[in-house]
Structure 1
């Protein structure tokens, strides 16, 4: 038997069915890493088989083929064939085909009544050609991605379903809470920008210097030891150097890149989960589709890309037994440059024109770090919402080299009123045994937005004002239901 679908997964399936019933045939589903995109794919595949129809589930990496088949099996979907080279499960007669895009684009595509494109932000021109063929015009194509923000993706998909946000899944307990520590900014002077992100060659030279602020290995030994860790580096040379520095410091560290054989990668994963490997240094290959039990992320790879940033952080947000939170050691300045993963939201697909409009808008000010307590303050907030500190004009603040400070997600820096109200809602929910979603919805009811990033705050006994506010809402709700209070 498969897993019981979570509320957001059931809601997504209903929205997909409704979109198809409304005549939509190009549907994109946005759901954070760890939200269960493959489970949704398995549910669609199961319904397709039950209806006597066929489906194709495509993946962009060879390593994801067997992983997807295993997940389908766990969900009770066994009648699966594989389209990948000479795979042992090759069987075109089976109604569900799991296909690597690399192999599929070189073969005749089998008939299908549903097509699912996993990790759809990794776009191939083959997909565009396939979707444009007349014989596939009426076949629903369903994209699945945590970050469907690739430029021009809106030209191929006409419907975006936002299944849930990272903050909502953290609040519901489906994703892990996280803490971020960050050093002072690395020196990226002279690093050029290419295709919207840092020039890799320039970046490697800048990040591989021995004099970098906040040495990666020492920081991890101080704060992250005992936590299974993924370290994201700039390129192969940088990643190998980091691995060797960890080994020299007595840390069991492995290295993975795009050329690491599947068998070797699987062996490293087994040792990682057995606790025999403490840190895995990688470059460009552990950002999508891995389900490892990661409790610490090292960001040694600066980026301007929200997609890459969210995918890296997402590797550490899956929940696990005994895992209280994910520790993020940001040696890249990414959080101060981009924001926090709970802040990043897109409500539409990019059709190529929207990005131009966004780039023409003035860029919002970034949060500032409180020099006293290290909280990040919202823009144009002179007093720190956490400790009340107000910097004096022309006051020079000097940070020691290598010193790390904890960052709070942007919503964690909201004015004290919002933080207190959220804590009081949590106390009420805990004592009345309300589900976690009640807190988020009541907060939004009062302030007009979700409590992004506040989930780290502990419950607080509510004030009379808060209790009265909650009571008034319950009375109003009861009246709408025709009940008496």
Structure 2
């Protein structure tokens, strides 16, 4: 049996409290790396101990054996528990081969509004549905209330770092916040047009030079924006004497598994990939991630950056962001209003002219732009011309902190006093009179 940590027990208590209020479909948010598989295995263990049948849905074939291992280690009665990929489960239901579950568990539940998932839920109307995700967020901003009645919130990323459940991190990038392309509106905030200009798809800095500078010889996963660039990057690392392997969505399954095995065993230090190693891949001793692809997806950003933050004693994760993704999404420990995202709104997510990722119209899966067929449901995407990124190898990368981002994203309306207004004015390059005018407008100066 695997003992639950205090915060995992807290999540389960939240689920049971929600059930006591009459809720049947419940979404649970807990950060990447917080042990959602273990928490879900405990739900399954308690259910199967009482003779209840459990169905666990995952969206990638590779995750089935990983999850099975956790469930078996936690003494789940596997005679009463079926773990299957969403497509496989859908086919079994169609053929009358899926026994009726009392509980349906959903991994990476931000996919769960997809038709394939909702069809499964509708096939078993009496079952409880518990969906687990690090990011209850959809590109369309439509929320999840069509399927789930309540959201149970887990601990924050910062709490997990402070309590030695996730590794602390250092984050390096180009300081786009003070980029001279950013023009200010009269309110002191950046104008949308200038943000778009500053965040045009571009790779900042020399990839190998910055790896050597900030993370030399650390076990590293590199995310690139297409297959061609992943091959080029791997080649460059190997030329410089590093052991790097390249994999992508079209790499044969056995080759991909071998690459991951060699990475886990330390036979190669660097895995360069396109379209892979986002959700669900567990490599606790990965110490560094390098971002070479801009993304508008908060889910993708969090999954990728936190791949290096699995806890190990004395480990400090290093995130090297060559594309300024932090300017779109903050840092891995930036707080998000998950309740707001869960409820949804009519507004569409802001587009920052980044390399497009796709949201599949059939299953809502968020995938890399290089895919021609959705890996989740098989839907064919219309043909697109691949976008190339311009490269500025001379750009200097520096450490990015939460304070930098907070200050630069702040508007006068968010300042609580004249001191904060004055600091904001200085950071934006305004004369002292600007803070006085804003203070008067906001009523911070007494008449």
TM-score by length of 2: 0.71
Q: Aligned partners of 1:239, 1:99: CA distance in 2, in Å?
A: 31
Residue deviations 1:298-329 (CA, integer Å, cap 9, x gap): 011111221111111121110124x4210111
Q: Contact between 2:205 and 2:393, CA under 8 Å: does it hold in 1?
A: no
Deviation at 1:5, TM superposition (A): 0.8
Q: 2:103 aligns with which of 97, 107, 114?
A: 114
Q: Aligned partners of 1:5, 1:49: CA distance in 2, in Å?
A: 17
Distance 1:349 1:130, change over 3 A: farther
The yes-or-no answer on 1:146 pairing with 2:138 is no
Residue deviations 1:437-464 (CA, integer Å, cap 9, x gap): xxxxxxxxxxxxxxxxxxxxxxxxxxxx
Q: Aligned partners of 2:256, 2:22: CA distance in 1, in Å?
A: 43
Deviation at 1:357, TM superposition (A): 8.4
* Counterpart for residue 96 of structure 1: 81
After superposition, residues 278-293 of structure 1 pair within 5 angstroms as 278-292=269-283, 293=285
Deviation at 1:341, TM superposition (A): 1.7
After superposition, residues 48-127 of structure 1 pair within 5 angstroms as 48-77=47-76, 79-80=77-78, 94-108=79-93, 109-123=98-112, 124-127=114-117
* Counterpart for residue 128 of structure 1: 118
Deviation at 1:358, TM superposition (A): 8.1
After superposition, residues 255-334 of structure 1 pair within 5 angstroms as 255-292=246-283, 293-321=285-313, 323-334=314-325
Structure having greater relative contact order (Cα 8 Å, sep ≥ 6): 2
Distance 1:30 1:245, change over 3 A: same
The yes-or-no answer on 1:248 pairing with 2:248 is no
Q: Aligned partners of 2:151, 2:276: CA distance in 1, in Å?
A: 27
Q: Contact between 1:57 and 1:97, CA under 8 Å: does it hold in 2?
A: yes
Deviation at 1:350, TM superposition (A): 4.3
- Greater shift, 302-311 or 337-346, is seen at 337-346
Q: Aligned partners of 2:52, 2:257: CA distance in 1, in Å?
A: 34
Q: Aligned partners of 1:303, 1:110: CA distance in 2, in Å?
A: 40
RMSD after superposition: 2.7
User: Which secondary structure does the structure 1 equivalent of 2:105 belong to?
Assistant: strand
Q: Contact between 1:339 and 1:410, CA under 8 Å: does it hold in 2?
A: no
After superposition, residues 114-263 of structure 1 pair within 5 angstroms as 114-123=103-112, 124-133=114-123, 136-150=124-138, 151-152=141-142, 153-183=144-174, 207=202, 212-263=203-254
Residue deviations 1:162-214 (CA, integer Å, cap 9, x gap): 11111111111100100011135599x9xxxxxxxx9xxxx8xx55xxxx541
Deviation at 1:281, TM superposition (A): 0.7
Distance 1:400 1:221, change over 3 A: closer
Q: Aligned partners of 1:357, 1:236: CA distance in 2, in Å?
A: 29
Distance 1:155 1:411, change over 3 A: farther
User: How many matched pairs?
Assistant: 339
| Structure 2, unpaired ranges of 5+ | 182-195, 351-391, 408-447
TM-score by length of 1: 0.65
User: Which secondary structure does the structure 1 equivalent of 2:296 belong to?
Assistant: coil
Distance 1:75 1:101, change over 3 A: same
Deviation at 1:106, TM superposition (A): 1.4
Residue deviations 1:203-246 (CA, integer Å, cap 9, x gap): 8xx55xxxx54111121122211210010110111111111111
Distance 1:213 1:36, change over 3 A: closer
Q: Contact between 2:173 and 2:398, CA under 8 Å: does it hold in 1?
A: yes
Q: Aligned partners of 1:338, 1:355: CA distance in 2, in Å?
A: 20
- Greater shift, 60-69 or 249-258, is seen at 249-258
Deviation at 1:248, TM superposition (A): 1.4
Residue deviations 1:109-130 (CA, integer Å, cap 9, x gap): 3210000010111242111223
Q: Contact between 1:184 and 1:213, CA under 8 Å: does it hold in 2?
A: no
* Counterpart for residue 24 of structure 1: 23
User: Which secondary structure does the structure 2 equivalent of 1:313 belong to?
Assistant: helix
After superposition, residues 460-475 of structure 1 pair within 5 angstroms as none
| Structure 1, unpaired ranges of 5+ | 81-93, 190-197, 360-398, 415-485
Q: Aligned partners of 1:131, 1:14: CA distance in 2, in Å?
A: 23
Deviation at 1:352, TM superposition (A): 7.9
User: Which secondary structure does the structure 1 equivalent of 2:318 belong to?
Assistant: strand
